[in-house]
Structure 1
Amino acid sequence: MSATQSYAHSRQQKLVVGFSQTPAPTTGLTRQEIRDLSLKGVKTRAASTAGSGRLHGKVAIITGAGPELAIGTGAARLFAREGAKHIYLLDYNPAPLSRLAEALREKYPNTKASPNPMRHSRSTVDQDGVLDLAVSALVDQAIQEEGHLDVFFANAGIIQRPPKRVGGGGDEIAEELRATGRNMGGIEDTEFMEVLRVNTLRWVEAGSNISYAFKSPIHARPWRAETLGIFGLSVFLGIKYASAAMAKTTSNKTKSVPGGSIILTASVAGLKANAGPIPYSASKAAVISLAQTTAYELAGSNIRVNAICPGLIETDMTRGAFEMARMAGKEGRMGVLNPLLRQGLGVEVAQMALFLASDDSSYVNGQALPVDGGLTASMPYIRPKL
């Protein structure tokens, strides 16, 4: 073991072993108490902070919203709090989407939000964020109703396909976690492509005579389905349709300069190894690359594209891992590999989305921004195989 590896290992051991009983310097509180108070403070501030109009008059689309702990749900609440004129929500599950839209209307009556685009009085699409027609139709709807689009938060995604049952009546949470931890030999190519499709791309089965011609610079080339094999979906579709809409201005001067902010949810798994399943990590690395390459593709348009890279965040997607930790009495050890010694909450990632959606981030472009408690600031230690 090298000196660098030895140092990294010793530091990691200090973080993990006995952190809950060790008093933090000068405070008299244990690290466990600081952790619990920090999480409580995040929740309190999220519930009590008043809006300051950072998104006043802006029209936004958010995909992957609805579930209570979802990052997209937290973003919708913050966008409404900050004065967004109209928030269009896109997800596959209509029930939580409807509840979220109703809650937004009740608490923020000046912000438009509703859960079903198929009805003339509604403005929220209740379909999966990976559907080409759903994304394009929603962007078109925003332009028709509001005349402009300012923010697109492409947040929908999955970690993996639901695991196959490996026995009768087993613990479903344990099975899910075991499936997440599989090595390459246990992952089928169809599953790899499914995760990539949902998080980044879309598999297209089309005749060789089909080609796609787009209208804006990012869409100028005739991409052929048989050449690519895969065609943009989810994140790519968000960039494709949103960038064309953001280039539009309005005659009534509500938007006199073209531009906007496209925000992509990636992951620390797209930045570093050993932070997620292989298909998930590959798909999130692709999302980061999309943020970087399309930022240059859209040069001169005043449209910014950035990726947020969450670390361990307590959401509905990671619920299984947290439930297992609670049942084992080890909830306090979740997130101890980062220097804040805790997990993050969805609202903390949503705060980064709010910053990127606002004009406060007007010179931030083409970046992959970690929200991970400092996890990626360290060189990870992996015990060498001798």
Structure 2
Amino acid sequence: MRGKAAVVTGAAFGIGRATARLFAAEGAQLVLTDVDRDGLEVLREELAKTGAEIRTVVGDVSVAEDAREMIAAAVEDFGRIDTLVANAGIIPLQTVLETTPEDWDKVMAVDGRGMFLTCKYAIEEMLRSDGGGSIVCLSSISGLAGQSGQAAYGPAKFVATGLTKHLAVEWAARGIRINAVAPGTIRTERVRQLADEPGGPEYLEAIEKLHPMARLGEPEEVAAAILFLASDDASFITGAVLPVDGGYLAQ
């Protein structure tokens, strides 16, 4: 990634933060975005000590003006955008009876509309530079198979999977690759918090057993897959949805 300009959304925590750290170590010029200003600033200070070139943008991917600013920041600071990691998302765990229409709209706004907007504006800029580019979307095992208790999140991740495949076909001839990773259950901050919530420990124990490797994944393991798909090592790969799931989908 040395010398390549990359935008990572939802970078303050979890998979986004692990990806930002790995991209920085690999020499990328980074625009890091999130709605969490404090978390973003902590990460910026950490990575700045490594000598990485970083700009942060606080914004909401579901707001068109914010999404456009995230992409524009890479062009303003680095002259182009080579890579987008469309990671920002929210993960409610609710059945369809527990999910309100407002819950549905919120998840679809961030996980669906937000991914659409950031991909749209990134592709626009990649076409202007005529140098191609790479986009990695964050799908999920819930975007490839049904799961209980994810009445809004799962369908939103099917949006991520579908967007990846359609955009990959649409822009392959222009040198823009669009792929996705489909993580299993990953030990992000949100997942670790479940241990302190009613029913959380039981949920974690049950979901861990559903992964053939008998453990949850780590954010760094997903980040490594994102790095591969974003890099030139994956130059003949587009439209792929790569499971990083400890064998969950192989069953």
The TM-score normalised by the length of structure 1 is 0.61
| Counterpart among 182, 189, 193 of residue 105 in structure 2 | 193
Name the SS of the counterpart of 1:199 in structure 2. Answer: helix
Q: Distance in 2 between matches of 1:61 and 1:347?
A: 18
Residue-pair matches, total: 251
Query: CA deviation digits over 1:75-126, x for unaligned, max 9?
Result: 0000010111x200110011110010111010x21x211xxxxxxxxx2101
Tell me what 1:72 maps to: 16
Q: Relative contact order: is structure 1 or structure 2 higher (C-alpha 8 Å, sep ≥ 6)? A: 2
| Structure 1 residue 189 displacement after superposition | 2.0
Residue 102 of structure 2 aligns with an amino acid whose one-letter code is T
Query: CA deviation digits over 1:203-235, x for unaligned, max 9?
Result: xxxxxxxxxxxxxxxxxxxxxxxxxxxxxxx11
Residue 194 of structure 1 aligns with an amino acid whose one-letter code is K
Query: CA deviation digits over 1:260-316, x for unaligned, max 9?
Result: 111111110011112551110100001100000011111311101111111010102
Residue 247 of structure 1 aligns with an amino acid whose one-letter code is L
Structure 1 residues 326 and 185, CA gap change in structure 2 (3 angstroms):
closer
| Structure 1 residue 322 displacement after superposition | 3.5
Tell me what 2:61 maps to: 129
CA contact (8 A) 1:332 1:342 kept: no
| Counterpart among 155, 164, 182 of residue 282 in structure 1 | 155
Name the SS of the counterpart of 1:245 in structure 2. Answer: helix
| Structure 1 residue 133 displacement after superposition | 1.0
Q: Does 1:374 align with 2:244?
A: no
Tell me what 2:117 maps to: 237
RMSD: 2.1
Q: Does 1:356 align with 2:229?
A: yes
CA contact (8 A) 1:333 1:342 kept: no
Query: Which is helix-richer, 1 or 2?
Result: 2
Alignment gaps of 5+ in structure 1: 1-54, 114-122, 161-179, 202-233, 250-256, 379-386
Over alpha carbons, which structure has the higher Rg?
Answer: 1
Identity %: 35
| Counterpart among 43, 51, 61 of residue 7 in structure 2 | 61
Tell me what 2:82 maps to: 150
The TM-score normalised by the length of structure 2 is 0.93
CA contact (8 A) 2:60 2:67 kept: no
Alignment gaps of 5+ in structure 2: none
